[in-house]
Amino acid sequence: MNYIVVTGGTSKIGEELIYKLSKSSNVIFTYNKSKKKAEQIKKKFKKISTNKIFSFKLNLESQNEIQKFYEFLTKKKIKIKSFVHNAFINFSRKSFLKIKKNNVENYIMANCFGSFLLTQLITKLIIKSTIEDKSLIFISSQSAEYGGFELTAYSASKGFINSLSNSLSKELGEYKIRTNVLSLGKIESNQLMKNFNWDKKKLISDIPLGYVGKPKDVSEIVNNLIFNSPYLSGANIKLSGGR
């Protein structure tokens, strides 16, 4: 059976992605720090799905770990249907004039270079697969297009992802690989609440629908992009509640 690779599996969005996708496919997800959380996720979903689920430690800032993940997939002769790139290093708001060089380097190494290298290696495996409908899905942010207050480096790194996806949709079409971006607005997470000082009223003030999105909202669209959108490629879908 085919596999879907999901990065950032221990985040709220990542966990919801695994929950949704594991119902119809085998899943391999990556995590960076919390092995305990990864084991809990596997144990939880093995109770509700007969499909296989694997986890693998992966730090996007480490070329060595990216290469090891590729070798793991190659050794297991994994047939990959889709790659859902949800993993990006955490961010905190910081003034453009005060952000330090090493902070920018971390964003570039993980969110840009690491993402590029990982996508390149996994795409090589997807191309080898005989599966007809194959896809790459990048979880991005509205800040890539509109910017974000004190989120300069983060927004720029997400802009890189958007451009990467757009270019790949042109180049990988000959291999029948669809490439799309899902640009998120405000989706429920501890990081989001922390950045708004847990002020819910302030958090929803610019959302026309009047509430923050749920991780489930993300997983529903990703599932449709993988299984129900055979002619959709090169798109940037905004999930923002009208924001």
Q: Give one DSSP letter per residue of 155-171, joined into a string.
A: HHHHHHHHHHHHHHHHH
CA distance 21 to 16: 9
Sheet containing 3-6: order of strands: 53-57, 26-31, 3-6, 80-85, 134-141, 177-184, 236-239
Give me the residue spans of the domains in the chain: 3-238
Residue 29's pLDDT band, with cuts at 50, 70 and 90, is very high
> Cα–Cα distances in Å, from 196 out to 190, 192, 221?
10, 7, 26
Task: Output the average pLDDT for the chain.
Answer: 91
Q: What is the pTM of this model?
A: 0.94
Q: What is the pLDDT of residue 154?
A: 85
Length of the chain: 243
The pLDDT assigned to 65 comes to 97
Cα distance between residue 42 and residue 52, in whole Å: 9
In a 13 Å sphere around the CA of 29, the CA atoms on its Cβ side amount to: 32
Closest to 171 measured CA to CA, from 118, 227, 127: 127
Residue 198 is inside which H or E element, if any? none
What's the pLDDT band for 88 if we cut at 50, 70, 90? Answer: confident
If phi over 0 gives left and psi between -120 and 50 gives alpha, with beta otherwise, what is residue 97? alpha
Give per-residue pLDDT as tens, 114-132: 999 999 999 999 999 888 8
3-238 belongs to which CATH class? alpha beta
Instruction: Assign 39 to helix, strand or coil.
Output: helix
CA distance linking residue 51 with residue 25, whole number of Å: 6
For residue 38, give the H/E element and its range: helix 35-46
Q: Would you say residue 50 has pLDDT above 80?
A: yes
State residue 48's pLDDT score. Answer: 84
Q: Which amino acid is at 127?
A: I
Q: What is the dihedral of CA 86, 58, 70, 218, to 10 degrees?
A: -10
CA distance 39 to 7: 15
| Amino acid letter, 187 | I
Percentage of residues in the chain having pLDDT higher than 70: 95
**Phi and psi, residue 226, nearest 5°:** -80, -45
Total H helices, total E strands in the chain: 10, 7
Q: What's the pLDDT score for residue 194? A: 66
**What local confidence, expressed as pLDDT, does residue 198 receive?**
56
List pLDDT tens digits, range 31-44.
998 899 999 999 99
